[in-house]
Structure 1
Amino acid sequence: MPSPHGTSRLYSMEVDAEINAVRFRWTGQPTGEEFRYGANQLLEFVRSRAVAGLIVDARNVTAHQRSSIEWLVREWMPEVAAAGVEYVAVVHEDDLIARTEMEALNERFRQAETAPLFFPTDAPADARKWIAERDRSTTSLYHIGQYLSSLQLFSFS
């Protein structure tokens, strides 16, 4: 899928190896198409990194289209969970609209069959701390499975 015009300037992403997470930051307000494209680029990035945590800085996003939120909950988040992400922290603006939207999104994730733990906050430092605490306190079954399969204890040849 080709990039919608200007999309690459709307976000940045990097690995934070210290906390086993990917940090993704929206740098501008995406359209619905740009939102899905950026989210799918993030999904591919996460799949190639095998990280347990994801921090999304959405402070530059003033509103989400309802259809984009539905897609995020129903289609995208289960794919993120399947990629091994167990914890998602979202940094939002410190205002009533953003808090209300994040609380509704948090409730949707709690009801979803397959979704990582979700932590909305208006403080980037709190998001990073929350992910770091999860990474230190839990060794995921996914990562144990990845490790055991890498040992090749059994040979079927």
Structure 2
Amino acid sequence: MEELYYESNVLRLSYSRDMNMGKAEWRGFLSSKEFRENGLRCLEFITAYNISRWQADQRQMLAIRQQDLQWVIAEFMPQLLASPLRRMAIIVSGDIFNNMAMEQLFKRSSNFGDLIIKEFDAEDEAFEWLKTPIPAAVAQ
């Protein structure tokens, strides 16, 4: 059963206890302030609930500014990699500029350590992949 953790006009966060999975549904174009505040909210949520699986639904998310992408690489990713998260499924946006930003992120972030990140076009495919067991060596 999915429990609501937080909701605003740009982000909905929910949690499935039985799967130890968090879900972020992003919507629209976010100001830098909204983007960073909600990114940090996701990190707090992951840490507080010791979440190992994450579904980032970006289908309705629009472009990410270049300065926000720089922030993700420099500030957000190191914190995310230090979190309990081990598997992240990203459902790609229909926005070409969002997709270009995500492509840059993957090119510029060379090592994700124990975190496995995969992109999907459909929610059901992402969910099926997230359900698969996490190897004990990376579940720690």
TM-score bin, normalised by smaller chain = 0.7 to 0.9
CA distance in 1, matches of 2:126, 2:9: 23
Are 1:106 and 1:118, in contact at CA under 8 Å, matched by a contact in 2? Answer: no
Does structure 1 retain, via aligned residues, the 8 Å contact 2:62–2:95?
no
- After superposition, give the CA deviation of every residue in 1:52-91 in whole Å (9 maximum; x if it has no partner): 1111111222100111112112221221221211122111
Shift, 1:101, TM fit: 3.6
Match of 1:138 in 2: 135
CA distance in structure 1 between the aligned counterparts of 2:139 and 2:105, rounded to whole angstroms? 25
Aligned residues: 134
SS in 2 for 1:9: coil
Alignment match, 2:73: 73
Q: Which residue of 2 aligns with 1:13?
A: 13
Question: What TM-score, normalized to structure 1?
Answer: 0.73
Q: Indicate the residue corresponding to 1:155 in structure 2.
A: none
The structure having more radius of gyration, on CA atoms, is 1
CA distance in 2 between counterparts of 1:141 and 1:121 reads 22
- Does residue 33 of structure 2 align to residue 33 of structure 1? yes
TM-score by length of 2: 0.80
DSSP-derived class of the 1:56 partner: strand
Name the counterpart of 1:129.
128
Which residue pairs with 1:51 in the alignment? 51
Q: Which amino acid aligns with 2:71?
A: W
Structure 1 residues 128, 140: CA separation in 2 closer, same or farther (over 3 Å shift)? farther
Cα distance, 1:112 vs structure 2: 3.4
Paired residues of 1:59 and 1:91 also in contact (CA < 8 A): yes
**Root-mean-square deviation (Å):** 2.3
Listed as ranges, the gaps of 5+ residues in structure 2 are 1-6
Find out whether 1:63 has 2:60 as its counterpart.
Answer: no
Partner of 1:119: 118
Deviation, 1:40, is 0.4
- Could you say if the C-alpha distance between residues 71 and 35 of structure 1 is closer, same or farther in structure 2, counting changes exceeding 3 Å? same
Higher helix share: 1
CA–CA separation in structure 2 for the residues paired with 1:122 and 1:38: 23
